Structure 1
Amino acid sequence: MKKYISLIFISAVISVSCNQPSKETIAEKIVPIDITVMPVRSELMKVSALSPAELKDDSVFTDGSIPASWNIAGISNVKGLKLFIKQLQQWVITNDKEMLASAVQFPLNNTIKTKEGLISNYDAVFTKEVKLSLATTNFSQLFRNARGVMLDAGKIWLAQKGNNFKIIAINYSAEK
């Protein structure tokens, strides 16, 4: 019975959603931005666009709490941070171990001491769970405090170090 009710509900939602024409075109939904993200190594990375939803800043989280200021988290370039997260997502998708390792401040969680150590332990650190946390980041709901910016209830922590952004912690567990 529950299956039928769920199926009816999902069908109704899809039906209602499909019947509502969008007032925006696809071109209006993507805002092209030609911003160079802060350098992680010596070269500069480019990410070409953030959607309006990704650019939107938060003033109240969905649970009703008010986020700390970006200054408290040490972030002076919010767009740069969001572009950095987007770049991290791309590196995770392509399993670019070198670039991901370059984006980490070592030691990582006091267990991974060097870039080479992270590369050799990549699959143990960047587990499916960690990758999913990064992939599903809600850009307008980024928790921050004096430690930095937290993704997915503390799975990943980011911070601005000078003009760079770095991963400062990855809370991973061995998958079984």
Structure 2
Amino acid sequence: MAAVAIFLVLGAACVFAAPPARAAGKYAVAGIDHDASVALFLRTLKIAAANNDAKKIASLAAFPLHTSVHGKPGQTVSPALFLRRYPAIFTPKVKKAVARQREKDLFVNWRGVMIGDGEVWFAPVKGGRLKIIAVNN
């Protein structure tokens, strides 16, 4: 009889327990809730890079933007400075990495999502919007 009572108590506890946590998406470790937003961001960046649309790429970036130009780390503090330095920042090597990147092969960690071998990093910023946070050439 005691065994039946314990079974009933445990069964009731299971019914009233907290619901299971929802499955985390592929990009959850980077703080990204919706995997589809990554695919859309990558597609938008690929189109802008293919069209050499510096203004569009600047609109996709968070400032100050971490940059590494010719191996020298620094920051690009504004969209205007980004536009002036665009040829030195978004080099053919960076554009090639963006063009070749497939969404299914993106690397992700707590810092964000990496394109290529680290040529471009993007992550959610204030308000959760995805933005480019680093460009390394």
Please, what TM-score do these two structures have when normalized by structure 2?
Answer: 0.72
Greater per-residue helix proportion: 2
1:166 to 127, 131, 134: 131
* Number of the residue aligned with 2:78: 114
Task: Quote the residue 2:108 is aligned against.
Answer: 144
Counterpart-to-counterpart distance in 1, 2:109 and 2:128: 19
Q: Secondary structure of the residue that 1:83 maps to in structure 2? A: helix
**2:92 matches 1:128:** yes
SS in 1 for 2:40: helix
* Greater RCO, 1 or 2 (C-alpha within 8 Å, sep 6+): 2
**What is the number of residues matched between the two proteins?**
105
- Structure 1 runs (4+) deviating above 3 angstroms are none
Equivalent residue of 2:102, what SS? coil
Question: CA RMSD, aligned part only?
Answer: 1.5
- Identity fraction in percent: 34
Partner SS for 2:96 = helix
Which one of 52, 56, 61 corresponds to residue 99 of structure 1? 56
Matches within 5 A, 1:1-176: 69-109=26-66, 110-161=74-125, 162-172=127-137
SS of the equivalent of 1:81 reads: helix
Which structure features the higher share of strand residues? Answer: 2
Give the structure-1-normalised TM-score. Answer: 0.57
How much does 1:111 deviate?
2.5
1:117 positional shift: 0.3
Shift of 1:69: 4.5
Mark the runs of 5 or more structure 1 residues left unpaired by the alignment: 1-67
Q: Distance in 2 between matches of 1:97 and 1:86?
A: 15
Q: Deviations over 1:49-83 (max 9, x none)?
A: xxxxxxxxxxxxxxxxxxx9421111111111111
